[in-house]
Structure 1
Amino acid sequence: MRFVEDPVISISPITPEEFERFRRLLQEHAGIALLPEKRVMVASRLAKRLNFYGLDNYGAYFRLATDPEHPDEFQILVNALTTNETYFFREPSHFEFLRDKMLPAWPTQPLRIWSAACSSGEEAYSLAMVLADKGRNRAWEVLGSDLSTRVLEVARAGIYPLDRIEQLERRLMEKYCLKGVRSQAGHFRVNAELRERVKFEQINLTQPLPGHLGKFDAIFLRNVLIYFDPDTKKRVVENLLPALQPHGYFVVSHSESLHSVTQRLQTVVPSIYRLS
């Protein structure tokens, strides 16, 4: 096997059978259902890995990435095929609900919130900004988790391009972020004080949760269920509910609903539920 740095070989187009292997693998490992029209996307995202190993077909790369001798490559494959589109204060009404409804009514114990598919961390840090700004010096904790190790590295660094801040108030930007200069111009970084209060961890939501997680007062699972089939949606939600405190909040995106997924959550407002 040879390693190359530049594209010097011709890669055969991905076949329907090869795409089906990747599709089935991602479904079994992460619960994500890839539609047939994603075949071009899969081929494009994996082409660099084929070039890296000097492979000319996707079947050979599938065999390599699923070989137990290459566990790191399997994670790279998962990283490449998972979608990670996000930005600060996406769907702002959820953060307004946290600020105006949840926080004023919360008891005095430490508040724990889980951003259960945090991607590169923007949602987790948005939650942290609300808690730090309006939490009245109360103890709080935010956990961000994702399946992709690549986006978790970005989240831990807390460095983002300035085009991610369209919904971020200037006041919060100035209070909790530092603008980059010279080589970091066009970027900003979440300040160290806030980064220290947000933890990130790799968690597969389709599998039993790690026992150390404990209970959370609110779980944000937004823009994730749309990628799952009905059975996987139910399995993921049932996996997460034991980690939710009694009467805790469960938040999904405005394009998602839990009405056919579980009967254990009651609607507070559209897309925001509470454990009964």
Structure 2
Amino acid sequence: MTGALAAPPEITGAEFAAISALLYQRTGIRLVPGKETLVMGRLGRRLRQLGLDGYGDYVRLLHQPDGQELGQAIDLLTTNETSFFREPQHFDYLREAIVPAHPPGHILRLWSAASSSGEEAYTAAMVLLERPPAGSWEIVGTDVSTRIVAGARRGLYPIEAAGRIPPELLRRYWLKGRDEYAGLMAAGATLRERVRFRYANLLDDLRDLGRFDVILLRNVMIYFDLPTKAALIQRLQEMLYPGGHLIVSLSESLNGIPSRLRMVRPSIYRLPAGPHG
């Protein structure tokens, strides 16, 4: 193809709408007009790698039945912004309210939904290692990006990411990289054996994950429209044990979304523990 090494042309309105529709259909994330520059910035290099002349060719490729390129596009277009101990009030609540009230003999299960590159799940693991519940516990982290899931499993982060980890936890659970890993830190075996990462799309039926005592769904629904949020909350409340907690980000709420969840405090919701919980 001509121009394989040149920058792709500007994306047209129809091409942007087609890519936005596919992303929405598959992930629930809606790209609104005005995000054309973001799409070109994230997909332009991919077009050059494939030797495509423009986004029209790429849209046709995204419709291939095998879905492989659509998966690549989702990896490139989904936002993965997170950090260790982000919104620490939630981890304080986990430590001070959820863990002490957890019944012995029942495995505490925590799900980091849309776990991104893994910082949230590893933070929860550090909290539970320091303040374990009565009995065993496990953490599941999921994300719609297979590339991001693979990175979370490796547990490698720039050393700058350690800034919000308390020094004693950093010494206890993290390894400083050397030689080719200089400038990086790695999750130690104690952390990695407690967290299981896997691919999952929040729009899919995820009952095979089992039920949970805590679901962290933070900074996710800001990308969804109201019908998508409502459908997601209906599914997730069925994946909570009676008395279980759903925690969203401090900038989010379930206002206007029908559910059986009751607010404990802003951004923290609980499923009633009664017979219909």
Q: Do the aligned residues in 1 keep the contact of 2:99 with 2:133 (CA within 8 Å)? A: no
Check if 1:275 corresponds to 2:276: no
**Offset of 1:193 from its aligned partner?**
2.1
**Offset of 1:137 from its aligned partner?**
7.1
Higher mean alpha-carbon deviation, 162-171 vs 52-61, is at: 162-171
Cα distance in 2, alignment partners of residues 173 and 204 from structure 1: 31
Query: For each residue in 1:149-186, what CA deviation from the matched residue of structure 2 results, as whole angstroms up to 9, or x when unmatched?
Result: 01101100000112222221111111111011122122
Q: Do the aligned residues in 1 keep the contact of 2:245 with 2:271 (CA within 8 Å)? A: yes
Of residues 203, 224, 239, the one that matches 1:243 is 239
In structure 2, the partner of 1:196 is 193
**Offset of 1:11 from its aligned partner?**
1.5
Identity %: 46
Q: Structure 1 regions of 5+ residues with no counterpart? A: none
**Offset of 1:236 from its aligned partner?**
1.1
| Structure 1 runs (4+) greater than 4 angstroms displaced | none
In structure 2, the partner of 1:139 is 136
Q: Do the aligned residues in 2 keep the contact of 1:144 with 1:198 (CA within 8 Å)? A: yes
Cα distance in 1, alignment partners of residues 182 and 7 from structure 2: 38
Q: How many residues were matched structurally?
A: 271
Check if 1:49 corresponds to 2:16: no
Cα distance in 2, alignment partners of residues 232 and 219 from structure 1: 18
Secondary structure, counterpart of 1:62 in structure 2: helix
Cα distance in 2, alignment partners of residues 267 and 11 from structure 1: 48
In structure 2, the partner of 1:230 is 226
**Offset of 1:227 from its aligned partner?**
0.4
Cα distance in 1, alignment partners of residues 7 and 97 from structure 2: 57
Aligned pairs for 1:88-167 (under 5 A) are 88-108=84-104, 109-135=106-132, 138-167=135-164
Of residues 169, 172, 177, the one that matches 2:166 is 169
Q: Structure 2 regions of 5+ residues with no counterpart? A: 273-277
Q: Aligned in 2, Cα 1:74/1:200: closer, same or farther, shift over 3 Å?
A: same
Cα distance in 2, alignment partners of residues 169 and 82 from structure 1: 29
Q: Which amino acid aligns with 1:257?
A: S
Cα distance in 2, alignment partners of residues 103 and 65 from structure 1: 45
Cα distance in 2, alignment partners of residues 263 and 195 from structure 1: 34
Check if 1:74 corresponds to 2:70: yes
Q: Do the aligned residues in 2 keep the contact of 1:205 with 1:239 (CA within 8 Å)? A: no
Normalised to the residue count of structure 2, the TM-score between the two structures is 0.94
Normalised to the residue count of structure 1, the TM-score between the two structures is 0.94
